[in-house]
Amino acid sequence: MKHFINLKDIPAKDLRRILIDAKKRKNVRKNLNNLDPDKGTPLKGKLLIQMFEKSSLRTRLSFFLAISQLSGRTLTLRPDELHLSKGGESIEDTAKILSNFGDAFMLRTDNDEKLEEFKKHLTIPIINGLSPSSHPTQILSDVFTVEEIKKKPISKLNITWIGDSNNVLNSLIAASIKFSFKLKVGCPKKYQPNKSMMNYIKKNKNKITIYNDPKKAVEGADVIFSDKVISMNDKVNKKRKLRDFKNFKISKNLMKKCPRAIFLHCLPRGSEVDENVFKSKQSKVWQQALNRVHVQKSILLYCFGKLR
């Protein structure tokens, strides 16, 4: 049994094994319906319990399809209906029940410590479906999308992030270390990755360059990543933050500076990208979103110790 909480803590060779499995599984599903099972019904009889303490569209749907295609089932709990969220039951006791009734637990939370506390008490795998510090299932899936479209290992590509230093960027930084790719980050000086991320980058002697000029950050890029300037529950002066990011909008003009680049965005989007970029040929956001299903299937199999 394995947990999937943060890319930093997962060996690079395991992350690569997940991507290889996802590619094989995706290739053989071309003519199947969404709910048709994969051959071998690998997770038959298994129950994935999901809980979202913050909004979600893609993660919810993609985990539903992922476990369904592996012949397992999912049950989504509403946090406001549990004793836990009202303080009437401990994480320890909740975890005991989840472990006795289910086979894996996927949690989207606003509290990284909660993931660790659940991990301590669960006897089933826990998957991080987004936390304040990371979004690992998203980024592993995005590595898959980049390699699928560019038909090259990501280590041979130039990756650029334009946007806030948030959970998604933290996971992208962790991926750049695990998969050894060059990463440029374009953001206003005030919004650079925090000290602990900078120390992590330094400790791993990684090649991450930070630019406060978006035009410099996109030079030579094969992939431009972005995300909302204001993340869920971001406790900031929203107007001011949006103003601070005004020059970091992904426009047609900016994309012209990196003509071979594809544009990726985890979604939902805000004002950080122009409509004509979002809907352009360079944008691969819908393919990116759908790949969550394929990669999360292999993440589930990894957690269950059933990766081929």
Catalytic positions are: 108, 135, 138, 227, 266, 292
- Per partner kind, with CB cut-offs from 5 to 8 A, the member of ligand NVA, ligand CP, none near residue 57 is ligand CP
The window from 6-14, 149-157, 226-234, 245-253 that contacts ligand NVA (CB under 6 A) reads: 226-234
Q: Which residues pair with 265 in a beta bridge?
A: 226
Measured distance CA(72)–CA(297) in Å, rounded: 11
Closest contact distance (angstroms) between CB of 168 and ligand CP is: 8
- Per partner kind, with CB cut-offs from 5 to 8 A, the member of ligand NVA, ligand CP, none near residue 231 is ligand NVA
The site map against ligand CP for 249-288 (x = CB under 6 A) is: -----------------xx---------------------
By CB under 6 A, how many residues form the interface with ligand NVA? 9
- Per partner kind, with CB cut-offs from 5 to 8 A, the member of ligand NVA, ligand CP, none near residue 22 is none
Give the N- to C-terminal CA distance of the chain in Å, as an integer.
Answer: 14
- List strand residue ranges (DSSP E) for 24-181, in order: 47-52, 73-77, 104-108, 126-128, 158-162
Closest contact distance (angstroms) between CB of 86 and ligand NVA is: 24
Considering the complex, state which of residue 50 and residue 166 has its C-beta at the smaller distance from ligand NVA: 166
Judge whether 230 and 238 are in contact, CB under 8 Å. yes
Measured distance CA(27)–CA(144) in Å, rounded: 13
The site map against ligand NVA for 166-205 (x = CB under 6 A) is: xxx-------------------------------------
Q: Does residue 228 bind ligand NVA (CB under 6 A)?
A: yes
Measured distance CA(296)–CA(44) in Å, rounded: 16
Concatenating the DSSP letter of every residue in 36-48 gives PPPTT-TTTT-EE
Judge whether 24 and 145 are in contact, CB under 8 Å. no
Element housing 91 (H / E): helix 91-101
Q: Which residues contact ligand CP (rule: CB under 6 A)? A: 56-59, 130, 138, 266-267
